Amino acid sequence: MASIRRKLGSKYWFACFYREDGTRTQVSTKSTQRKEALKIADDLERAHKNKATESQMRRVLSDLNERLTGDPLKSATLTEYVEKWLIEKEVSVARVSFLAYRTAARAFLKYLEAKATLPLSHITGSDVMAFRNAVRRRTTERTASNQLKIVRVMLDSARVGGYVEKNAATDVPVFEKQKGTRRPFKVGELKRLMVSATGEWRGLILAGLYTGQRLKDLCLLTWASVDFAGNQISLTTSKTGRDQIIPMATPLADDMLSRVSDDPRGYVFPQTSALVLKDGDVGRVSQGFYDLLVKAGLAEERLGKDESKGIGRSAARATSPLTFHSLRHTATSMLKNAGVTELVARDLIGHDSAEVSANYSHVDEESKRRAIQGLPDITK
């Protein structure tokens, strides 16, 4: 029979009862009333004696919590909470961010399909770690780390909302960034890349080099941001939220004019923008750029799944010191080699620094135009 007792230094009664496996346990009732505490102890013992399922046990605890606090315990399966969380995010974050959240959350749900109908409390750190590693096996460390971060945010939201006591993803580490692996392109390499590039890739490479902006921002650039009269591009960076006004170098302006659209809402690079909008990230576009590097002889071909069997993951996932982000480094290097001041170079590329913040108004448009026009023409 259940009983209650008080522990030294505690104002609450503790329920003492036998579990279904015969072991005796003690649980705080969170009640200072003896009669109420005894009722709680009896309910807990009855639930265990009846070999209650976890959902039945949670209902018992929810009823007890409601009697004590006025609020029932919150409960949701993994599937229910993922969809609930995505509904909330769809109206509270930018469209591109939501797509990234949806991709990661549904990938997590699909990977843990066996636990999809179980309460969130069944998700363990080992589950999250296994998901992170599974994403890494088929993509990159960066993508795996980004999806882990999103899952961590989602599970922490569940913790704050009272669905679980602990965020299972808290102690699962992201992959460490590899330092010093990227390098700028050489002019000769850029010309080889342009020879191999077709379709939108020519424009994207020119935009990456002559604006120094990140791949996602360029993929989602619209014609409303391109001012031919002023010969400049205006955009807000997705990573830092910084407003950028960048003069167009002649090779970039010529490329833009060759395929301009009358629809200001249209994307400058519609094919790549469609991939980013569908996936919520630039994973497939980045892979496309890697394929272009291989075609130009600037990177090693990555082996397919069948080809990579038995030779180790590192061999199958070939990497290169050259990525699309290298164009950003290249732009910075070329500007400095052309004698452009650190202040102007940082302002054009969009690097945040105390120097730029303190002197932002001193960087005039004419200085930026002279700097951009001093860059070499890789189309010739």
Q: Are 120 and 143 in contact (CB under 8 A)?
A: no
SS3 113: helix
Q: What residue spans define the domains of the chain?
A: 3-69, 78-160, 187-373
Print burial letters for 158-192: b (CB count within 10 Å at least 16), e (below 16). Answer: bbeeebbeebbbeebeebeeeeeeeebbeeebbbb
H or E segment and range at residue 68: helix 54-69
Helices (H), 280-374: 283-295, 313-316, 326-337, 342-349, 354-359, 365-373
* CATH 3.40.50.1370 is held by the domain 187-373: no
Total residues belonging to the chain? 380
* CATH 1.20.140 is held by the domain 78-160: no
Q: Are strands 24-28 and 13-18 parallel, antiparallel or unpaired?
A: antiparallel
Question: Sign (positive/negative) of CA torsion 307, 311, 317, 322?
Answer: negative
pLDDT for 50: 63
Angle at 200 between CA 194 and CA 203, to 5 degrees: 60
pLDDT for 57: 58
Q: Are strands 13-18 and 3-6 parallel, antiparallel or unpaired?
A: antiparallel
- Measure the CA–CA gap between 90 and 200, rounded to whole angstroms: 30
pLDDT in tens, the chain (380 residues): 789 999 888 888 998 987 766 678 888 888 889 998 898 888 878 776 665 555 455 556 556 655 666 655 567 889 999 999 999 999 988 777 888 899 899 999 999 998 888 888 889 999 999 999 999 888 778 889 999 999 999 999 999 888 888 899 999 999 887 555 678 999 999 999 999 999 999 999 999 999 999 999 999 999 999 999 999 999 988 877 788 899 999 999 999 999 898 899 999 999 999 998 887 778 889 989 999 999 999 998 865 544 444 333 343 455 678 999 999 999 988 888 888 888 778 878 876 554 443 443 345 677 788 888 888 888 88
In the block, residue with structure tokens 């020519």: 202
pLDDT for 342: 81
Query: For residue 222, what is the DSSP state?
Result: B
